[in-house]
Structure 1
Amino acid sequence: MSVFNGVYYKNSRAFQRRRKMIVTLLLSVPKPRITHLLRATFPSLDPADQEYDPTPPFAPYHLFVTSLTLQSRNNLYEGDFYNINRQPPRKLVEFVEERGLKDRYFAEAPLGRISDESDWGILIRAINIEHCRDLTWALCSHVEHIKALAIPLFDVGCYLSLVDRFETLRNVTFHLERQFSEEDADMDEITPEELKVLRQQQDEHTQHLDQMLIFVQGLRQRHRNVLQTASCYGVYPRNNEKCPEKYQEELARLLPPLLDPQDLRADNWAQFVTKVKETNLSAVKAIMPPQGCTGPLSLSRLLRQSPFLHRCRSLLKIHLTTIDNSIFQWAVEERKQYDAEIAAGRSPHQPLVPLEDVDVVSHRPSDGRLINDIGYGFGETLRTLNFQSYSFSGGEDLDSVECSLVNIIFKDRRQEYSISDITRWEPAELPQLESIRMRGSPAVSFNLETLRTTPALQNLELVMTPEEMHGFSFIPPVAELEELDGYEKSSMTVTTTTPSPRRLIWTWSWDLPILTTLVLAGEVAYRFQFRMLQGTPSLVHFSVDMSSTSGLHKRTIGIKDLLHNTPDSATMEGTLSNDDKHNDDLGLQSECIQLPLLKRLDLKGSWTLDTQVLETLCGMAPSVTDLWLLGCSGFSLVDWLHITSRRLLSLVNAGASGPLTAEFSASAGLNEVGFYGLEGGAAWYQYVQLPEGRTTDYKLNYYVHP
């Protein structure tokens, strides 16, 4: 049935093959099962219509259909109702008009008028849903052969009379196909007539849920233990609609325990929860509970009443929302016993749970225990640790995670902090680590000296702001940062005095030979030293954003910052960079750090770099296709235009900040396209005639931000 549920372009061969398959199957079913809508959609089903001249099937092919789980995601008809030049089949258009389906569908969608959906969208969705219902009913004519069935909940009453004939039905799903909910519309605009229809539909929905329970109960009584699973959930266009927990629980209680499940997920969770102790969990490899459950089906309540994780001896992956920091204490105890038996020269009485991927969302501040328990308990096999918390308190010990970890993702919602609030983690040894993604306070707590032991690292992202927020990051006042680092006279050079316990001493000289993505924003971006790039020859995406909410964090980039094996000289604004001494060496491009694979380069914030530095930067990364210097100063827009177009022969998009001048707008070959982005955004220019030597046919775009 996957062929039926695929989403295909209407001019594709796959779409036409599906139509032919449907016709072939329908030609063999009893004629009374074929509705007028199906006949109008597939004209070849009508013997009087020779438009398609189909070949009669040689066998009742529908009898071979044992799994019938259709969805209303895609149109089954050719053409489009909203395209006057490409209408659906004539018979379908006439049927819709003669039966007044459009008016009927609108009347049945009281929330449609006050939703964002168009009239055509309501019509198309409704026809797709009705097609799915009619096609399921037609192909289900020989129910004795059906082993898996998806029933539109709206039609469950039609199937009640067939309970005695579902002799082999093992798996049944009930699809919630309501187009709209009260969350989709402004209920203040609903009319009394629409509200009356809505309340009537809600009563009918409850009746259908009751009939669902009667249907499943009948199957269990008449066919004993044939039925193994039953579930109810939303499908397109409201995939996130959930069956009320009350009905999920009652439905699950009618079923037997899950038979050696390999996955515990949303569609079998209720059946598992109602029979935890009776379920064999030894084969479970993945646990992904439904989100948002607050009653008897909630994970937190289940873990308190019937702890079960220790019984999942084959567990590889778990995704959970929890407020209990002790749920993996059993794994810690098992690991201690395991290590003790190994140390004593004995064979462990059982292997450790081979958990590889952990995804945790915690609604309370992390005290570090949960992360440390996961790291220690599953340290031999753990590969991905994704932990999102309200906030991190600093008790995390990355060194407990051992050497198997490949991916780390730590996030919290913190946006501002003081130096005294943040606990800086100790460096950890993670030689197999491939990806680090930190957001919020973890981006500040993470100790960059960990990078000394991560030669396999490919992705490093340390960002202060949450993912849904863009732009400026909070960075502590410069004076606080100088005190923390032991700056002397505003120098960025690390002091040789004995550091205080809170002082940071980072070398910025790590060997990361296969790092491809480096994204820094916030405090760590302000601290960034360019000598780090000497150890990242494979870099493809480089972004350092020190745009701060205060606007007081500024840096100057000098030529010697970009040279090999020299102390960094990036300084605070107002500090002499002594670049004049090195002007004679500007042509020695071979002495500069080389980033031959770099495609995207972002420098954002109050960076100061003159035209010589800009020219050198372009020479370091000749393959760049996207260059963004937003908030940067020290060069004119005209120089930026000329240098980048001449030195970066693969460039496609470039952005910078500054006032538009007549000289820039009049630059040879430059054409003003308009504005790009929200609320006017950036002025957008393109080269009409591409500069000579270009290595790409893409247009060259320049964006000037105010």
Structure 2
Amino acid sequence: MLLLRPPFTTATDSSVSKLISVCLCPQSIYTTTEEIKGNGIVTPPVPSSLNYFAHIHHLNLDVGAMDPLQPVSQENWRSEQMYFLSAEFSQLRRSHHLARTYSNSLYHQRELVNMPRQVLLYREVTWLFANPVLEQLQSLTIPLSDIKRYTNIVCMMKSLEHIRYLLDEIWTHPVIRNSDGAEEKDVRMEEILSLAVQLVKDHVRLFPRRLRMVSSCNWDKRTEHSRQMIPEDVQLEIFRMLPPVQRMESLTGDNWMRVAAHPEATDLQFVETLLNNTPAEQWFGTSYDYRQLLQRCRTLKNLDIPPLGQGSFAWAVQEKRDHEGRIITNKGQGLAAWEEDLLPYGLVPLENFTIKEQLKPLTDEVDDVAFAFSQTLATITVTTLGTDTEMRRIQLGRGWVDLPMLTQLEIQSNFARLDLHPELLSHCPNVTSVKLSDRTYGYQCQDIVPCQAAHLAHVETLALTGWSALTFHQATLHSAKRLTTLAVTLELDSEDGCFIPPPSELKWSYGIEDDNRVGTEFQEPPAILRPQWTWDWYLPCLTDLYLTSEFAYCIQFQFLIGCPSLRSLALDMHSVDNDCLIMIPEDLVAPSIWGDPTSPPARIVVPSLRFLSLRGRWIMDDAYMLDIMTGMFPNLEDWVLDGWEDITLRGLIAVLRTQQPTSHYKTVFTSLALPSEQEEEEFGVLRKTRITGHEVLLPVTVYFYDIPYGEIHTVYRLTTGV
């Protein structure tokens, strides 16, 4: 055990000695041992002949450990506070350049006192331990506020390999400006950084190739307003004095400047992760060929970058083609038994690819990556940006080949329409998660070119929003037996809701004869028919289903028989055109396709459903609502009826009380009008603000929207008796 006790002969002045004495209540420095006797009596510590300091090679103290120890008595606490508020401590703070920097940035008296105290403690305790063992230290954290003390003894740090600069000063914050509004240079900061560079320069001169790493850290990562960083030009100056990194395994923002200092000499062949979301022109300057950087990473598995421009992965495409050519040649000559499903030797084994638009737009990066690394890619994540004043098309999927290892495909397009190749999903036979989205709202059915049906036997999550939903081939669902989440939606306008084409146009696009067509004029079918949704899929694992717009409008409830595990169903078709769906008794039964063709239709029952949301003009009367809620969904707990027509408050209350006294309903959201006082008394409903606590209530809570499709609501509860 290491004990601290005064006097501190290594402290620089009496004020610092008193600071440590007040905070840590020490008596002297000893390396001691203590022994606990069997009778529970603790013997006092005695000096030991062992020199524990000889074993210190890495001195990087935890900043959090600088919090003062709790005082052992109220008297000690008072004396401690009096010291920190004294003129002596204020003078100490000013003499160590801490008065302006912290008082300008911290707003509470306690922080104003504690931060300088902790900073000074860290400086002195670090020096206390470092000074006797400087020659043996291999890594050392140096507070930048105390850098001058270390620059004078660089010659003693012959074993030092890693310097970590602690940014314990707050420099210019907020930005200092002169009378003209221009930023003023922080003289203190420039002085400190100059000394930091000089320390590295002197060490490199005295001990060539010994120093391997220089890093930095903040005093408190939680305090955003006081976080500092060493400017990039200073980092580059320091790293250029260090030797290039060997066997680098990860290249991210934390060590990017080290590569920028030696872009050609750095060993990149073992890099497995490359992550940099800044524009490529800022990586190493506009003159550097950053594509060459990627090609040198021969073991790369994880890549997260912005678009690099047309042809940025042409090297990978060419390598793939050359390798395939060698396979064909060797097979023809019978030289070797090549297995095409094995990882080709020498190709980059990329597994995870993420690309997000920044300044440059997306070009051919995704398609080239999908082709070049088809045998190893496991995830593809694409995010495109834009503005609400433009709507461009992004074409993806051209030139793709089968990706047998791909499990996750996510493409999010903001203000750009996803124009997917019809065979894109067919090349992803083992994918488990597909999320494709853009912000398509209005459209014409004649513009939709459907994709081909894909065999997705392993897919578990399928979320399609926008153009990908409109072009999706519904026959794909016949193979999706493991599907748990299905969302087929379009962009929802905050005011107008969904866009749904006129029913006649919908039928025309699917090649369905419209019995309500006015006149006898013949209408040519569309050039490309959309595949008609059959609603006859069997999805035994499906738990969550979310449909909007035309997909909710066209739903056939018979489909739910094939979803025995369904727990959540959300259908949203509210639109500015007030499209409606009139519920009829036939909607409650399933045709014979689900069983024996000779048997009569069976009633639709979804016993697993717990959440139901129907938004839009669903038209039904009270009796029908009672039938659907208690018959089709007998175990429902939470439901939303927003925009329903022809139902009444009486009908809603009848449904809620049907299960009494063992009601399983928990929450109900409705756009029905608020109950009048007479209805409150008649139906036994109480506004939540009027509940006294003496009533016996049902577990259900009813939320009344102030307006349809709104968010503001008034809360009611139901009593057990009327």
- Length-normalised TM-score, structure 2: 0.68
CA distance in 2, matches of 1:653, 1:26: 65
Aligned 1:126-141 pairs, distance under 5 A: 136-137=126-127, 140-141=130-131
CA distance in 1, matches of 2:171, 2:560: 52
Change (3 A) 1:45 1:401: farther
Q: Which runs of 5+ in 2 are unaligned?
A: 30-41, 387-391, 416-438, 517-523, 595-599, 707-722
Q: Higher mean Cα deviation, 157-166 or 643-652?
A: 643-652
Match of 1:211 in 2: 195
Match of 2:11 in 1: 32
1:625-661: CA deviations, max 9, x gaps?
6544445555445654664576595655443333221
CA distance in 2, matches of 1:432, 1:408: 13
Match of 2:224 in 1: 238
CA distance in 2, matches of 1:337, 1:701: 67
Task: Give 1:333 deviation, angstroms.
Answer: 2.6
CA distance in 2, matches of 1:88, 1:455: 71
Change (3 A) 1:451 1:463: same
Does the 8 A contact of 2:66 with 2:122 survive in 1?
Answer: no
1:155-198: CA deviations, max 9, x gaps?
4444333433333433334454677987xx8x9xx9989x99x9
Aligned 1:52-63 pairs, distance under 5 A: none
CA distance in 1, matches of 2:130, 2:515: 79
Match of 1:393 in 2: 393
CA distance in 2, matches of 1:518, 1:75: 54
Match of 2:86 in 1: 98
Match of 1:278 in 2: 265
Query: Secondary structure, in 3 states, of the residue corresponding to 2:198?
Result: helix
CA distance in 2, matches of 1:701, 1:604: 19
Structure 2 residue 305 is matched with structure 1 residue 326: no
Match of 1:576 in 2: none
CA distance in 1, matches of 2:494, 2:507: 27
Q: 2:375 aligns with which of 372, 376, 380?
A: 380
Structure 2 residue 414 is matched with structure 1 residue 406: no
Change (3 A) 1:278 1:118: same
Aligned 1:486-501 pairs, distance under 5 A: 486=511, 488-489=513-514, 500-501=527-528
CA distance in 2, matches of 1:526, 1:40: 75
CA distance in 2, matches of 1:87, 1:659: 67
Q: Higher mean Cα deviation, 402-411 or 212-221?
A: 212-221
Aligned 1:136-175 pairs, distance under 5 A: 136-137=126-127, 140-141=130-131, 142-175=133-166
Query: Secondary structure, in 3 states, of the residue corresponding to 1:655?
Result: strand
Match of 2:364 in 1: 369
Q: 1:660 aligns with which of 674, 680, 689?
A: 674
Match of 1:267 in 2: 254
Task: Give 1:330 deviation, angstroms.
Answer: 2.7
CA distance in 1, matches of 2:187, 2:701: 57
Task: Give 1:254 deviation, angstroms.
Answer: 2.1
Aligned 1:490-639 pairs, distance under 5 A: 500-501=527-528, 503-520=530-547, 530-548=557-575, 550=576, 552-556=578-582, 560-561=586-587, 563-564=589-590, 591-594=603-606, 596=608, 600-608=611-619, 611=622, 612-613=624-625, 616-617=628-629, 626-636=638-648, 639=651
CA distance in 2, matches of 1:502, 1:26: 88
CA distance in 2, matches of 1:60, 1:472: 78
Task: Give 1:388 deviation, angstroms.
Answer: 0.4
Q: Which runs of 5+ in 1 are unaligned?
A: 1-20, 81-85, 492-496, 569-584, 675-683, 695-699
Question: Which residue identity lines up with residue 315 of structure 2 in the other structure?
Answer: W
Identity, in percent, stands at 21
Task: Give 1:243 deviation, angstroms.
Answer: 4.0
1:19-54: CA deviations, max 9, x gaps?
xx9x8689999762876555544446789xxxx999
Q: Higher mean Cα deviation, 160-169 or 120-129?
A: 120-129
Task: Give 1:517 deviation, angstroms.
Answer: 4.3
1:575-619: CA deviations, max 9, x gaps?
xxxxxxxxxx9xx9x8324262x5554444454565544663466
CA distance in 2, matches of 1:365, 1:72: 41
Query: Secondary structure, in 3 states, of the residue corresponding to 1:307?
Result: helix
Query: Secondary structure, in 3 states, of the residue corresponding to 1:402?
Result: coil
1:340-390: CA deviations, max 9, x gaps?
444452448724332222111024797773332222222222222110013
Does the 8 A contact of 2:636 with 2:665 survive in 1?
Answer: yes
Match of 2:419 in 1: none
Q: 1:253 aligns with which of 221, 224, 240?
A: 240
Does the 8 A contact of 1:78 with 1:88 survive in 2?
Answer: no
CA distance in 1, matches of 2:275, 2:150: 31
Change (3 A) 1:306 1:432: same
Aligned 1:285-296 pairs, distance under 5 A: 285-289=272-276, 291=278, 295-296=282-283
CA distance in 1, matches of 2:61, 2:630: 55
Match of 1:357 in 2: 352
What's the RMSD between the two structures over aligned residues? Answer: 5.2
Change (3 A) 1:475 1:155: farther
CA distance in 1, matches of 2:56, 2:351: 38
Question: Which residue identity lines up with residue 216 of structure 1 in the other structure?
Answer: V
Match of 1:577 in 2: none
Task: Give 1:271 deviation, angstroms.
Answer: 1.0
Query: Secondary structure, in 3 states, of the residue corresponding to 2:289?
Result: helix
CA distance in 2, matches of 1:622, 1:514: 20
Query: Secondary structure, in 3 states, of the residue corresponding to 1:393?
Result: strand
CA distance in 2, matches of 1:180, 1:502: 67
Change (3 A) 1:429 1:175: farther
Change (3 A) 1:290 1:362: closer
How many aligned residue pairs are there?
620
Change (3 A) 1:655 1:374: farther
Aligned 1:640-659 pairs, distance under 5 A: 640=652, 643=655, 652-659=666-673
CA distance in 1, matches of 2:532, 2:313: 35
CA distance in 1, matches of 2:561, 2:395: 33
Task: Give 1:264 deviation, angstroms.
Answer: 0.8
Does the 8 A contact of 1:317 with 1:358 survive in 2?
Answer: yes
Task: Give 1:321 deviation, angstroms.
Answer: 1.4
Does the 8 A contact of 2:567 with 2:611 survive in 1?
Answer: yes
Match of 1:678 in 2: none
Does the 8 A contact of 2:362 with 2:384 survive in 1?
Answer: no
Does the 8 A contact of 2:541 with 2:565 survive in 1?
Answer: yes
Does the 8 A contact of 2:535 with 2:559 survive in 1?
Answer: yes
Does the 8 A contact of 1:559 with 1:613 survive in 2?
Answer: no
CA distance in 1, matches of 2:593, 2:573: 21
Task: Give 1:463 deviation, angstroms.
Answer: 5.5
Match of 2:300 in 1: 315
Question: Which residue identity lines up with residue 669 of structure 2 in the other structure?
Answer: G
Task: Give 1:119 deviation, angstroms.
Answer: 6.9
Task: Give 1:266 deviation, angstroms.
Answer: 1.1
Match of 1:672 in 2: 688
- Length-normalised TM-score, structure 1: 0.70
Match of 1:419 in 2: 443
Match of 1:4 in 2: none
CA distance in 2, matches of 1:352, 1:547: 52
Change (3 A) 1:489 1:501: closer
Does the 8 A contact of 1:28 with 1:62 survive in 2?
Answer: no
Query: Secondary structure, in 3 states, of the residue corresponding to 2:158?
Result: coil
